[in-house]
Amino acid sequence: MAGLARRDRFELPEPVRKFFEGDWEVPAFPVEEYRDGSSMVVKAELPNIDPDKDLDVSVSDGVLHIKGERREESEHKDKNGYRSEFRYGSFTRDIPLPAGSSQDNVTASYNDGVLEVRVPVPEVGSSSTKVPISRG
């Protein structure tokens, strides 16, 4: 068929595509989980936020909930003008806790852009009862 022009598929630039489609393969923020004695430790990398205003940590029904909002502003001044950029967005992450975890005595701290949450968990095998065996 002569006369039909071939149309190339239009590809959005990567940052624009991620904005519209979302980047589902990358979690909202990196998290590390490990056991430290009688505590489960969850560390989350959350740089450039104010934990007093922009971060909420809670535990309910055996799940640790981390919610927050990031607000960043950058200014560029030079002889040709001035430009200001704002970036903001909310994030959330739900982390299942081990069975028997306590909602009491959960602690959270924020230092150098890292949130650390400690959740008391029961010691595995710490309580056992000897069961007597009777002869028939």
Distance, in Å, from the CA atom of 92 to the CA atom of 98, rounded to the nearest integer, reads 20
Domain span at residue 55 reads: 34-120
With respect to residue 45, please indicate whether it lies within any of the assigned structural domains: yes
Instruction: List pLDDT tens digits, range 103-126.
Output: 888 999 999 999 999 999 887 655
With respect to residue 6, please indicate whether it lies within any of the assigned structural domains: no
Please, what is the end-to-end C-alpha distance for the chain in angstroms?
92
Q: Would you call 133 helix, strand, or coil by DSSP?
A: coil
Stated pTM of the model: 0.62
* Structural domain count of the chain: 1
Distance, in Å, from the CA atom of 71 to the CA atom of 86, rounded to the nearest integer, reads 7
Instruction: List pLDDT tens digits, range 19-46.
Output: 555 544 445 678 999 998 889 999 999 8
| pLDDT over threshold 90, residue 47 | no
With respect to residue 126, please indicate whether it lies within any of the assigned structural domains: no
With respect to residue 102, please indicate whether it lies within any of the assigned structural domains: yes
With respect to residue 11, please indicate whether it lies within any of the assigned structural domains: no
With respect to residue 134, please indicate whether it lies within any of the assigned structural domains: no
Residue 68 sits in a domain whose CATH number is: 2.60.40.790
With respect to residue 14, please indicate whether it lies within any of the assigned structural domains: no
